[in-house]
Amino acid sequence: MAYIKIKLSNNEKKAFQVLMDDLKITINEAQKLIDKKRLFCNGEVVKEKNKILKGLVELIVYQNNPKGVKIVFENEDFAVLEKESGVLTHPNGRHCNYSLSDEIGHLWGRQACVAHRLDKETSGVILVAKHKKAQIELKALFEKKLIQKEYLALVKGEIKENFRVDKAMDLVKNYDDVKTRMQICEQGKKAITDFEVLKYFPLFNTTLLLCKPLTGRQHQIRVHLHHKNHPILGDPLYGLSKDQIKSILDQTLSPNQRLELTKAKRLCLHSYSLKFQYKGENFNIISKTNIKNDFIKALKK
């Protein structure tokens, strides 16, 4: 999604009123745009909602740049999309030219948004609310842990039995030196994940796991598997030095160099299914991607 400046009408009104009139939005939505420093008057950022605007008024907005996305399921309230690895859920700055928000805005307009997030390198199913009411209801389901998520992960080594990891987690103290990271920490927040063995690939010495997080901590599956000495192949954060992490995040490594470093050209983690009840109806939405083949391709030069 590219950021562009558009010209707004101006009758020497207050900043929030200009936004409300031109964009047909609420005063709260207008305030958010001002807080995000997207409103300009004569080239200067407008910081106060009650400022009378005189002159050229411009607003930085998103311009959708859709490339096409798979819709797994859709009804009048929500949809489930198949996100590819390497695609951001939200734009992360004015230099971001594409994210899943491009597809959502193109398909369902400005009111639609994701109900939860997936990391950039995690692929798979993601739930999208089509309007504000659905957004509130679906996010409430996530907060109350009423939506069961399952993931597929390809990990290092052979695992023969199903297992559970019950280890609390917290932020790494110096995470801001590279990127947000988590760690096992006795004083952290409770985190539990169940793991089911699906298949062992002796040629690559890797095991495909079905991962069932019972809590919703950031990077929970990745940290728990790293703790068990079965890291997810292609992980760009855990088990690497600061310089190695930077080289992946800055995309200075070739795919084959990353393969040598992390044993895969992408993070081999996939959002496989979402199970929940909405308006009295049960949903069990499963990814249609043949992710096993995609994972194996990521292991080859």
Residues annotated as catalytic (active site), given as ranges? 119
Residue length, the chain? Answer: 301
Of the candidates 225, 226, 238, 233, the residue with the CA atom closest to the CA atom of residue 205: 233
C-alpha–C-alpha distance, residues 155 and 219, integer Å = 15
Angstrom distances, CA of residue 235 to CA of 214, 255, 269, 272: 21, 13, 9, 18
123's tokens = 């692929």
